[in-house]
Amino acid sequence: MPAGAAPGREPNPLYDLESRYERPPQLSLSPALFQKFQKLIYEETGIWLGSSKTALLCGRLFRRLRELEITSLKNYYERVSQPDQEEERARMIDAITTNETRFFREPRQFDFLVHTVFPRWQAEAIRGARPKRLRMWSAGCSSGEEPYTLAMLLASHFAAEEGWDVRLAATDISNRVLEKARRGIYPMAKQTELPQHLLHGFMLRGAVEHEGEMKVRVEIQRMIEFRRLNLNQEARLPEAPFDAIFCRNVLIYFDNASKQRVVANLERQLTLNGFLFVGHAENLTNMSNELRSLESTIYIKAGKEERR
Ligand SMILES: C[S@@+](CC[C@H](N)C(=O)[O-])C[C@H]1O[C@@H](n2cnc3c(N)ncnc32)[C@H](O)[C@@H]1O
């Protein structure tokens, strides 16, 4: 008798399903089926799931299968791989992406921005070598902490009242995290990630039903355009070219071929002397002729005479 079926009664497939799902995910995934998912995910996103990720894939897809009342990964694959199932593929990607992030993650890079890059931009504007216009892109922005960190820093150093026109693009492949990012509401526990002056200047403390939450001020939210964008597909953003791009802790999920393609696309959308920031585990050695390393995770798009 299947688990959950009451004696003397026809097994209720839904009841059966529920009871099975109350246990930890036990979805079986043969190596051949894993390879099919691996290929599908790679073609969609450029993310390469190594074969050690079998349990991760089962665990991440478990909830989605339950929502759809599909009991096997084989049936799910048959559905999600149909050409007309773009929306389902987006949901699958939502489930498998890793979205860990925080405000001021890798603070050294923000120090570099404030103490080296910002003064350079200010000086260029003063001597008329650049317009008072800045564009930045957070590529793989997750739930928004990275672009909001950038927007708060930019707002503190390049005031609109002084004529600065500052805008950010923030993109991710996952709709789930983009929704969070657009809302700009975070648990109060995250306040420790922000320096006091930015916390007080740019965050609102929630009250009544929003007790325990904080919200990014609307003037900061308005600086950012959040959009879904798959970095694996070449696309030029309307805000390009960018003075700086943050693409951190995203490239680690790609194999070399996709990484190379993504880096080339980022590089094309940087201005000359624009900066590219990557994650601490992401090295771009031999990935590009145009990017010159300034520090281990910070690159500049150098003019021809500056390369070498
Ligand atoms: C670990 S988070 C990093 C967030 C932030 N950049 C940081 O460093 O804190 C990686 C993000 O990259 C996104 N991502 C993964 N593959 C992507 C792709 N092909 N195109 C766009 N975003 C992608 C994921 O959805 C996830 O939100």
Question: Would 13-96 and 107-306 be classified into the same CATH topology?
Answer: no
Statement: 13-96 belongs to CATH 3.40.50.300:
no
Helix, coil or strand: residue 189: helix
In whole angstroms, what is the distance from residue 175 CA to residue 93 CA?
A: 9
Instruction: Write the pLDDT tens digit of every residue in 118-155.
Output: 999 999 999 999 999 999 999 999 999 999 999 999 99
> Which residues does ligand 1 sit against, CB inside 6 Å?
45-47, 97-101, 105, 140, 142, 146, 172-174, 177, 229-232, 248-250, 253, 279
Question: For residue 6, is pLDDT > 70?
Answer: no
pLDDT at 26 (0 to 100): 58
Question: For residue 3, is pLDDT > 60?
Answer: no
* Cα angle 244-111-256, degrees, rounded to a multiple of 5: 50
pLDDT at 17 (0 to 100): 39
Question: Model pTM?
Answer: 0.89
Nearest CA to ligand 1 atom 9: 101
Chain position carrying tokens 């805008």: 167
In whole angstroms, what is the distance from residue 233 CA to residue 229 CA?
A: 8
Instruction: Write the pLDDT tens digit of every residue in 251-279.
Output: 998 989 999 999 999 999 999 999 999 99
Question: For residue 307, is pLDDT > 60?
Answer: no
List the 185-187 sheet strands across, edge first.
185-187, 213-216, 203-205
pLDDT at 306 (0 to 100): 53
3-state DSSP percent of the chain in helix, strand and coil, to 5: 45, 20, 35
Instruction: Provide mean pLDDT across the span 155-176.
Output: 97
Q: What is the DSSP string of 57-119?
A: HHHHHHHHHHHHT---HHHHHHHHTSTT-HHHHHHHHHHH------TTSSHHHHHHIIIIIHH
Mutate which of 42, 91, 97 for ligand 1 pocket (most atoms within 8 A of beta carbon)? 97
Task: Confirm if 122 and 231 have CB atoms less than 8 A apart.
Answer: no
Query: Domain coordinates of the chain in residue numbers?
Result: 13-96, 107-306
Provide the CATH number for the domain formed by 107-306 in this structure.
Answer: 3.40.50.150
pLDDT at 27 (0 to 100): 75
pLDDT at 194 (0 to 100): 97
Q: What is the bridge-based pairing of β-strands 270-278 and 133-139?
A: unpaired
